Structure 1
Amino acid sequence: MTSASSSSPPEEPAQFAPLPGDFFGFADLLAEHEQALLQRVRVFLRQQVAPIANDYWSRGEFPFQLIDGFRQLDIAGVMYEGLSQHRGSRLLSGFLALEICHTDPSTNTFYGVHSGLAMGSIDRCGSGEQKQLWMPAMARMDKIGAFALTEPHGGSDVAGGLETTARREGDEWVLTGEKKWIGNATFADLTVVWARDIEDHHVKGFIIEKDTPGFYPTKIEGKIALRAVENADINLDECRVPEANRLQRANTFRDTSDVLRQTRGGVAWGSVGCMMAAYELARDYTITREQFGQPIAKFQLIQDHLATMLGNITASLSMVVRLAQLQDQGVNKDEHSALAKSVVTTKMRDTVARAREVLGGNGILLGHNVARYFADAEAL
């Protein structure tokens, strides 16, 4: 990986406090060392990401110079045994997603695709040798990952309708098909691609390295959400992958679903961060914006919006916190993650819409930040 420039995380601040939108102080459930890490991440985000987020969003480009700062934070491997000095709970990984999305949903998508979907696929479906080969480099962010499941004609129905095929030829597999909306794929060092074996008709996973012949990612242009994420359309034209790069424990779509089960909750956590940021921006705006001789925060109509937004956030945060606890206990089910994702994203859409409305005309100006969260919420 090459980057335009490097950025370094700041020194760890002395004290941690929950974000203003965390009205019930759920972050206090984190262990002390987890709070310390979250605070380091928060300061890095505020100093390095927040000042450039609108610019890169507007340009539709990813800020590659941030990768070195994320590398030094050592957070890509927090969910996996032996890969980070900061190994922590699912609650910690959830709050990391919340914190990053609170600053910039595009940056959180990059982080989640790499550390959740791509690394999660190898961790849960790779052999011991494959994990040893790929995971440490990915945890250090020396290798960046992508995850290619969605197709032009299939989203949530890919279990039964996956069109990308794989056929075995000796010690190689030949992949043919198309993928769509694949985050990080334009620059990732490796992409986990899911394809249907034409012999047994089961879905299998393959690690395709950058610049492999027959692997052609093309950046999707013209998005109105998550614009700093480099999503790609991928064309697989007789792409040859060695058997050594087939995920050895991914033999049916059940194995793919296991990865999704573990990562789906991350979307809910990020959505809490998105709506929390929109609420805080709206709240601060109402204190300083005056109409009819007083701050608009004094009007009950505005107060009703703020109270509803905060209620949405608190209800959503309680749901994802409990989901993380179930994950730490190993008793979470698909239904738990699915319900959290569905409910929280719905409440997020309501919350960012209220925030945009509270800002009036200024709510559509990128410089007031709420517009970016309002747009990004659609993709989430």
Structure 2
Amino acid sequence: MTGVLDYPGDLLGFSADLTSPERDKLLALRAYLEEHVRPILPDYWERAEHLAHLRQPLARLRLVDDPALLDADGRTRALYRGFRTIELCRADLSVSMTFGGQVGMFRTLVLEGASPAQVRDWDRDIIDFRMTGCFALTEPDHGSDIAGGLSTTARRHGDGWILNGAKRWIGNATISDHLVVVAREQGGGRVLAFVVPSRADGVERSVIEHKAALRAVHNADISLREVYVPDGLRLPRIGSFADINRAFRTLRPEIAWSSAGMQLATYESALGYAQTREQFGRPIASYQLIQDKLVRIVENIAQTLALAVRTTTHPVADDVTPSLIKLVAGNRLRESAALARETVGGNGLLLEQDVIRYFMDAEAMYTFEGTREMNTLILGRALTGHSAFTR
């Protein structure tokens, strides 16, 4: 495939380390997103309509399982997965979540938490989006403190389990056939995970309305009332929050890749506008104040991208480093989105200019995996040995 896979802000040339098949795959993804996705995003965002119809076309691109992309272990390289996230987020964070919530989060939980037999039975269908799923962890009264406040319960019942509780802010829940529900075992204290059919008796899902960000992702409230789940749908390699952390350790650096992709999108929108918008008889791109904003965005992209790439060569092996990654990536994204919004001025409030989508979605990204304040507390505890969580 011909084309230029350029990334403004890639000052150190990280993308040059992509293989030819990886570059071709990313170019194919970019072409599809430019032709079929970008034009529809403003309308879908304004109507708060989900993007489930994109799942099969994206699956047909074989972004996950093309043999030309796989290593000896049958997996794609972390560097390729990172740039794949950049391409998806460069279009829209909702697009990335629609795809990544399935092949990233849901699939990773299955690969890391399921038995070998379950993986054999499910993995092919997960990659092809025939078995769709999402991750149901957070609850109405517990977000960042979910590890200490998990209220959803699982009690043994014959050859299965009965689940009771509620989950909130669960992305893709209303367009998924399965929910990976995390619950605390009654009497035993273990933290367990179950692949619950979303249409099982006792499961109710409702879309959270009136959101100001991630409008093309349907986050949901989930109610679980005496939901029976056979033991065969329990993920047997998950028995604690430590196991959940282990399962997601490979995914946590994705926040930096997502941040870099969104910042790239804000930069391209702001730059395109600045080059065509005229004030006082000249393009605003010719003014120092505008150039300063654009340079600062590219500076942020470079920093975030360097942090993201580092995690591909030195995988995260602890539970503190992800907080630092999230802190930096979230701060840089918030600043870049604000700078792009300032560059486009009053017209930046219009969806046709794109930057307002990125500006609002930056607030959602800021909240993922804990806000700046939450991650600061985690890092502060690690640095000082004193916890400031409670008094």
Q: TM-score by structure 2 length?
A: 0.89
What one-letter code is carried by the residue in structure 1 that aligns with 2:86?
L
Other structure's SS at 1:264 match: coil
Please give the per-residue CA displacement for 1:183-222, whole angstroms capped at 9, x wherever unaligned. 1110201111100001211211000013111111111111
What one-letter code is carried by the residue in structure 1 that aligns with 2:344?
L
1:260 aligned partner: 248
Check whether the contact 2:256–2:307 (CA below 8 A) recurs between aligned residues: no
Mapping of 1:66-81 within 5 angstroms? Answer: 66-76=54-64
Q: What displacement does 1:172 show? A: 1.1
What one-letter code is carried by the residue in structure 1 that aligns with 2:338?
A
Structure 2 residue runs without a partner (length 5+): 366-391
Structure 2 CA distance for aligned equivalents of residues 122 and 198 of structure 1: 23
What one-letter code is carried by the residue in structure 2 that aligns with 1:334?
D
Other structure's SS at 2:3 match: coil
- CA distance 1:286–1:292, shift in 2 (3 Å): same
Q: What displacement does 1:86 show? A: 8.6
1:312 aligned partner: 300
2:132 aligned partner: 144
* Aligned with 2:318 (options 318, 325, 333): 333
1:102 aligned partner: 90
Task: Tell me, yes or no, if structure 1 residue 283 matches structure 2 residue 268.
Answer: no
Structure 2 CA distance for aligned equivalents of residues 339 and 154 of structure 1: 22
* Aligned with 2:339 (options 329, 354, 359): 354
1:342 aligned partner: 327
What one-letter code is carried by the residue in structure 1 that aligns with 2:29?
V
2:145 aligned partner: 157
Q: What displacement does 1:224 show? A: 0.5
Structure 2 CA distance for aligned equivalents of residues 50 and 112 of structure 1: 18
Q: What displacement does 1:336 show? A: 2.9
Structure 2 CA distance for aligned equivalents of residues 66 and 21 of structure 1: 28
Task: Tell me, yes or no, if structure 1 residue 166 matches structure 2 residue 154.
Answer: yes
1:26 aligned partner: 14
Check whether the contact 1:323–1:332 (CA below 8 A) recurs between aligned residues: no
Q: What displacement does 1:22 show? A: 3.1
- CA distance 1:129–1:96, shift in 2 (3 Å): same
Aligned-pair identity (%): 41
Task: Tell me, yes or no, if structure 1 residue 91 matches structure 2 residue 76.
Answer: no
Check whether the contact 1:278–1:351 (CA below 8 A) recurs between aligned residues: yes
Structure 1 CA distance for aligned equivalents of residues 76 and 240 of structure 2: 30
Structure 2 CA distance for aligned equivalents of residues 200 and 95 of structure 1: 42
Structure 2 CA distance for aligned equivalents of residues 141 and 340 of structure 1: 30
Q: What displacement does 1:44 show? A: 1.0
What one-letter code is carried by the residue in structure 1 that aligns with 2:317?
N
1:379 aligned partner: 364
Check whether the contact 1:83–1:139 (CA below 8 A) recurs between aligned residues: no
Other structure's SS at 2:175 match: coil
- CA distance 1:82–1:164, shift in 2 (3 Å): farther
Check whether the contact 2:51–2:217 (CA below 8 A) recurs between aligned residues: no
Please give the per-residue CA displacement for 1:40-70, whole angstroms capped at 9, x wherever unaligned. 1111111111111111111101133212211
What one-letter code is carried by the residue in structure 2 that aligns with 1:337?
P
Other structure's SS at 1:359 match: helix
Q: What displacement does 1:139 show? A: 0.7
Q: What displacement does 1:267 show? A: 2.1
Check whether the contact 1:83–1:136 (CA below 8 A) recurs between aligned residues: no
Mapping of 1:54-73 within 5 angstroms? Answer: 54-73=42-61
1:37 aligned partner: 25
- CA distance 1:77–1:196, shift in 2 (3 Å): farther
Structure 1 CA distance for aligned equivalents of residues 19 and 80 of structure 2: 9
Check whether the contact 2:153–2:184 (CA below 8 A) recurs between aligned residues: yes
Structure 2 CA distance for aligned equivalents of residues 187 and 77 of structure 1: 23
Task: Tell me, yes or no, if structure 1 residue 194 matches structure 2 residue 176.
Answer: no
Task: Tell me, yes or no, if structure 1 residue 292 matches structure 2 residue 280.
Answer: yes
- CA distance 1:85–1:104, shift in 2 (3 Å): farther
Structure 1 residue runs without a partner (length 5+): 1-12
Please give the per-residue CA displacement for 1:312-339, whole angstroms capped at 9, x wherever unaligned. 1100100001012222xxx633333321
Please give the per-residue CA displacement for 1:118-147, whole angstroms capped at 9, x wherever unaligned. 111110010011111111100111121100
Other structure's SS at 1:178 match: strand
Mapping of 1:210-289 within 5 angstroms? Answer: 210-289=198-277
Q: What displacement does 1:240 show? A: 0.6
Structure 2 CA distance for aligned equivalents of residues 332 and 326 of structure 1: 9
Q: What displacement does 1:258 show? A: 1.3
How many residues align? The count is: 364
Structure 1 CA distance for aligned equivalents of residues 58 and 344 of structure 2: 33
Q: TM-score by structure 1 length?
A: 0.92
- CA distance 1:324–1:159, shift in 2 (3 Å): same
Check whether the contact 1:265–1:338 (CA below 8 A) recurs between aligned residues: no
Q: What displacement does 1:260 show? A: 2.7
What one-letter code is carried by the residue in structure 2 that aligns with 1:48?
H
